[in-house]
Amino acid sequence: MDKDKVVEVMDPVFKKRIDGEIDGMTFTKNFRSSTAEEWYIFLPGFKDRKTGGAAGKAIIHYNLWGNQHIFINTTIIFDDPALYDPQLHPLVYAISDEIINRLVGYANTLLSVHAGENSYNAEYKS
């Protein structure tokens, strides 16, 4: 591929913002059972407006089918209404994708993201 013909379509300032949020993202496990986990998601630029705590949470539910098939249902709920701004959809998408990468490693996963107007569903297949 000729690198001179590659054009970056994302604003570099916005890309830097996305990278900063992902680099500063941390997690705390709140709950674990044999089939589910709940993680609090902390982001440098966002927080729960009511408590001042985590910007959101990820709920991971493992469906185990015998010993050969594992399918994961993941729900991400963002609690900071600032993440509902439609202009931040690429940020919400990038953060959610990184959460999947870190917590389930892109295994076979059904994803549901709840972020106001930026809500979406996706499927990851390995």
φ and ψ at residue 105, rounded to 5 degrees: 65, 35
Give residue-wise pLDDT tens across range 53-97.
999 999 999 876 665 566 789 999 999 999 999 999 999 999 999
Residue-range definition of the domain harbouring residue 57: 3-124
Q: In the chain, how many domains are there?
A: 1
3: tokens are: 């690198």
Percentage of residues of the chain with pLDDT beyond 70: 89
Q: Which residue carries 């994803």 as its tokens? A: 111
Backbone region of residue 99 per phi and psi (left: phi > 0; alpha: psi in -120 to 50; beta: other values): alpha
Provide the residue count of the chain. 126
Give residue-wise pLDDT tens across range 108-117.
899 999 999 9
Q: Give mean pLDDT, residues 93-122.
A: 94
Give residue-wise pLDDT tens across range 33-59.
888 999 999 999 999 999 999 999 999
